[in-house]
Amino acid sequence: MFLIENAKIVGEEGLKNILVAGGKIEKIFEGSCNYPVDERYDAAGKTIIPGLIDQHIHITGGGGEGGFNTRVPELGLSKLIEAGITTVVGLLGTDSETRSVENLVAKSLALTKEGIKTYSLTGSYAYPSPTITGSVKTDIVFIDQLIGVKIAANDHRDSCLDYKELQRIGAEARVAGMISGKSGHVTIHMGGGKFLFGQINDALEHSNLPITIFRPTHVNRDDKLFEEALDFAERGGYIDITSGMSRKLTDAKAYQKAKERNVLDRITYSSDGFGSWSNYDKEGNLVEIGYSPVDTGIKAIKEIVESGEKLEDAIKPFTSNVAKVLKLDREVGYVKEGYLANLVALNDDLEIETVISEGQVMMKDKKLLKKGTYE
């Protein structure tokens, strides 16, 4: 057993103790503790929030649009720990030729074994979707790590799929999720093209699919796309904002716009970590390329708080909202008894001090205690 003492749990008054056993929060209480614990950690009044849930990380590395030398390397465990991320969803991007869903599942298993629970999505930008079993449906139903599917739209790198093809992907994911008890969703990379939400709207208009099946991401790419995203959220959909993506439409501004439209419970944030960012000229030639870090989530939370929001509200699109849309909200996303002990201790400057994943201390007082196998 492990005891966290003198913790200020986000959104609660006073200092509490958190007893951890078997990787879960066994008890939250005030006062002295007489339990025969194996280890104690004095939080000394630091604020405890749930570990962040990042549903969009290229764990096997993204990129490749500029040639083989622009393939982004695989993600190391320590990057997740330093970013306060304790639950991950990995996925593919443009490149599903030199990357594979098999590779993605293997990396998910590796990160999970190293201490951070990791899921993944089948598919990629491409259509037909690359899979392991031969279909999106059976991938999601039979492979534990796969909880949904990835596709791209409104982008010069997508497969120019029409709305009927998007419907088929949505239908397969929907039924697979029902059978397996998973989220069974379609993460849709939204590019900077001229169709905006047109393909998604057409797919919904001409089908009986629920709007929540389609999860557009990178919706803060520009103002026009974000306005359509907010309309989508008002209709009951979920939208995913990429933290640190836009200097003009900052994370705090995106949050405020969602608040003004009363859709804060329909938004999530993710980092697109280790995915490439790229810029192109008018003829479609690559001008520059780089890759995104995974620590933009905690920076976005700080920015939102500095804009005037309470910490307990600012963290929701990074924790409980994500847990809900991924159907993981019975085990992660909250600091509650019975939930996994995925916890992050923040100092007064909202800097990450300590990270605990399923009861294992991964970083303590800003010192990494756990690294990846080959780090």
Residues labelled catalytic: 272
Beta-carbon neighbour count of residue 162 at 10 Å? Answer: 11
Asked if 252 contacts 307 with a C-beta cutoff of 8 angstroms, the reply is yes
Q: Which residues fall within 8 angstroms of residue 130, CB to CB, at 6 or more apart?
A: 92, 96, 100, 101, 122, 123, 124
- Report the alpha-carbon angle 171-174-175, nearest 5: 90
Beta-carbon neighbour count of residue 280 at 10 Å? Answer: 15
- Give the three-state DSSP class for 166: helix
Beta bridge partners of 42: 5
- Give the three-state DSSP class for 63: strand
Report DSSP letters for 275-317, one per residue.
Answer: -EEEEE-TTS-EEEEEE--STHHHHHHHHHHHTT--HHHHTGG
